[in-house]
Structure 1
């Protein structure tokens, strides 16, 4: 599976769900992706996971984490994972825009009081699909690791310059549009 096929599966799920900005609708996208991977079979789930790891790893960036921190009113390691799950459910255009320029998330028009823009379920769509198809989640992880391409999670710092997310002046400089929405004047 390549990135085009990966994003086609996500976009197909989004079309069925419609508006995907709420946490509930992002979870619905994750459920649709899981169902589609079940239909495609265990090997598709393994390949989806491999592409997911690459795509998700590219978003493991300090500037995007800072955007999540603003939008969520704080953001732990796990919270940033769940935020990226939600971001995947927004589709390729939003994902790529946010990775390139996190401040572009201001264009989504989200309610600044909605701090539930997370989707933990998206992180396990491939393993859930594999388990549903085979009944053996352990075999999924063995298959994903077999070609040695799965990076170890949690071993690296996020890409980009580290800075204090609690420094409102820094946030206003680095993410001016999001800061205008999410920081009190």
Structure 2
């Protein structure tokens, strides 16, 4: 399986289903029709693309959107961005500030702004809208176990042999020299100007 086929499955799973639960089931069915090697290929492309989002700018995006600092939330935010498809993910991974070009993100930010302005409790979005999609990362693992009857450790060993490993879970300190203070408004404005303009606009 090449990268094009990987993204085709991600995008078709969205187009051909109406909920996250249906989407996971759709992907599971398709992956279970593949060989063990193809399932490993799929998860390799998943990990390689998810790793592209491992930057401090992307971490800042997740913190501002979720309104909390959370390394788990960051990881699941990356998975949600991937769920939006290749074009959307590529543009944000290459230039995180372009997240403001995604209608899904602008919608969520508008929901959050109105929600907090009205001092309402709970979350401003539904489970289907929530900007995190943890379970999407496990589809290939479940399919691998179903197809082979083997523990997913075998899959991880195969990826390790290819030099591929997940960069999650993580600690913010692991960003190293690229780290910056996401609470610094001036730095946010410099690195993520469109997001900063939205956050400081009155409406």
Same fold (TM over 0.5): yes
The answer to whether the aligner puts 1:176 opposite 2:193 as a matched pair is yes
CA deviation map 1:68-114 (0-9, x unaligned): 11111123221111011101100001000101111111122322214
For 2:91 and 2:22, locate their aligned partners in 1 and report how far apart those are by CA, in whole Å: 22
Instruction: Between 67-76 and 173-182, report the one with greater CA deviation.
Output: 173-182
Secondary structure of 1:40 counterpart: coil
The answer to whether the aligner puts 1:10 opposite 2:27 as a matched pair is no
Count of residue pairs the alignment pairs up: 178
Please, what is the CA RMSD of the aligned residues? 2.6
The answer to whether the aligner puts 1:111 opposite 2:108 as a matched pair is yes
Gaps of at least 5 residues in structure 2 are 113-123
1:43 is displaced (CA, Å) by: 2.0
Gaps of at least 5 residues in structure 1 are 19-24
> Which is greater in Rg?
2
Instruction: Quote the residue 1:153 is aligned against.
Output: 167
Contact 1:62-1:160 within 8 A present in 2 as well: no
Instruction: Quote the residue 2:156 is aligned against.
Output: 141
CA deviation map 1:16-66 (0-9, x unaligned): 136xxxxxx456544433332112232221111111121111121111111
Instruction: Quote the residue 2:90 is aligned against.
Output: 96
TM-score by length of 1: 0.81
